[in-house]
A and B are shown apart, each in its own frame.
Chain A
Amino acid sequence: MSATFLLDGRAIPFSEGQTILQAAVAAGAYIPHLCFHPDFKPHGSCKVCTVKVGGRQSASCTTAAAAGAVVESDTPAINAERLALVQMLFVEGNHFCPSCEKSGDCKLQATACDLGMVSPHFDHFFPDRPVDASHPDLLLDFNRCILCSLCVRASRDVDGKNAFALAGRGLRTRLIVNSRTGRLVDSDVSAGDRAVHVCPVGVILPKRRGFSVPLGRRVFDLKPISAVADASAQIEER
């Protein structure tokens, strides 16, 4: 008999060292999240997975699960704040879903829809961000980057390459490539790397594979993200 905590009234079992979100995902319970991936060490930066425990709000991906804890997640107040965070991400970058190959398989888009986002609400920053098409097999479109750093972690921890890193500070934080020219073609990235598959949005894309699954038939076209148990794995397979 393992210990449990209560997530919106549902008992979630967890093992020693697991965080709230890790346990929830393992139990098939949904807490909205973007920078978290079950295969990687939690990072805690997007804050979309924020929950309320003991009256205090904290990111569920980095908060240790504790026996008997009462965790509130799916409440109108918390979802309203999550929605605001997602809207912030939409105005921070340049997100034009209709022209994005990741549409329908994108966690940002799916999370926004699930939270009921009908507009980005805030004023857009419309930043000037580059596209890097230098690599023969891969395309980088930084306009869509939400700075989740999953590619940074995957390249460092799985591929052993450190191909990506975050640079800059504040609103000027950006993803960079590990090469002297800064271009992907001059890095040691290859199409088989885990790092190039974990992107939850449409920054890192394989070339020559446009719309191989038609719009309308993609992972989150078929089911809302809250009903897809292994969303991270499914979009990675695509």
Chain B
Amino acid sequence: MSILDIDERLFTLLDKVEFDRSPITDIKEVGECDVGIIEGGLCNAENVEVLREFRRRCKVLVALGACAINGGLPAQRNHLSLPLLLQEVYRSEPGAEYGLIPNDPELPLPLNKVHPLHEVVRIDHFIPGCPPSADAIWQVLTGLLEGREHPLDHSLIHFD
């Protein structure tokens, strides 16, 4: 959603690009794309499938935001074992209704650990920040459009 922070520049961008799968278009399948932008870390099986689909369909893949880049807040569970966490959340916690861990096939299974994107597929560009600044996003996207080698100035890099 940070992409919306680039505000009216979005219109300039729309002149040059076509959005495929995105929160703007609500397309569920990924088509062949030049650039794919992914936010969030890999927490579960569905995340992995989506990421790998992006990697297959997109020429350039951009990891956007702290969670995509280092696992972020969700990865703070990584020093605990998954069984312990599931046990704690669904069985020990007061209010856990039936004391059962949900096993509906519709629900994606959680991974043992949360991983940043680059640990699972090749990532071409990173836009750090929580959230990333609009200027950084803008610079990377225009950089890609213009075929610049280094699309992000050091001054636009921040991790918080």
Contact = CB atoms under 8 A, between A and B. Distances in A.
A118 B70 contact: no
B93 interface: no
B113 A126 contact: yes
Interface string A28-60: 000000000000000000000000000000000
Interface in B102-140: 113, 115-116, 118-119, 123, 125-128, 130
A118 B136 CA distance: 11
Interface centre among B69, B70, B78, B115 (most CB of A within 10 A): B70
Interface of A: 90, 94-100, 103-104, 109, 112-121, 123-124, 126-129, 215, 221, 224
Interface string B72-96: 1101101110000000000000000
A128 B80 CA distance: 8
**Which 9 residue pairs of A and B lie closest in terms of their CB atoms, listed nearest first?**
A97-B159, A98-B130, A128-B79, A118-B126, A126-B78, A119-B126, A103-B160, A113-B157, A97-B160
B137 to A, nearest CB: 13
A129 B159 contact: no
B158 interface: yes
Contacts of B125: 118
By secondary structure, the A interface counts as loop
Contact of A127 (B79, B126, B152, B160): B79
B154 A113 contact: yes
A117 B119 CA distance: 16
A230 B63 CA distance: 34
Nearest to B76: A96
B159 A113 contact: yes
Given A121-B118, A128-B79, A95 B70 contact: yes
B159 A103 contact: yes
B27 to A, nearest CB: 28
B79 A90 contact: no
A113 B79 contact: no
Most buried by B among A116, A118, A120: A118
A109 B69 contact: no
A98 B159 CA distance: 7
Interface residues of B, number: 31
Nearest to A99: B73
B155 interface: yes
A118 B160 contact: no
A96 B79 contact: no
Contacts of B35: none
B114 to A, nearest CB: 9
A14 to B, nearest CB: 29
B38 interface: no
Given A126-B75, A129-B79, A119 B160 contact: no
A128 B79 CA distance: 5
A98 B66 contact: yes
A119 B123 contact: yes
B125 to A, nearest CB: 8
Nearest to B136: A118
11 contacts: A94-B76, A94-B79, A99-B73, A116-B150, A118-B125, A119-B126, A120-B70, A120-B116, A124-B71, A126-B75, A126-B79
Nearest to A98: B130
Given A98-B66, A113-B159, A114-B154, A119 B72 contact: no
B136 to A, nearest CB: 9
A115 B123 CA distance: 19
A129 B79 CA distance: 8
Nearest to A220: B158
Given A109-B159, A118-B69, 4 more contacts: A96-B72, A113-B158, A119-B123, A224-B155
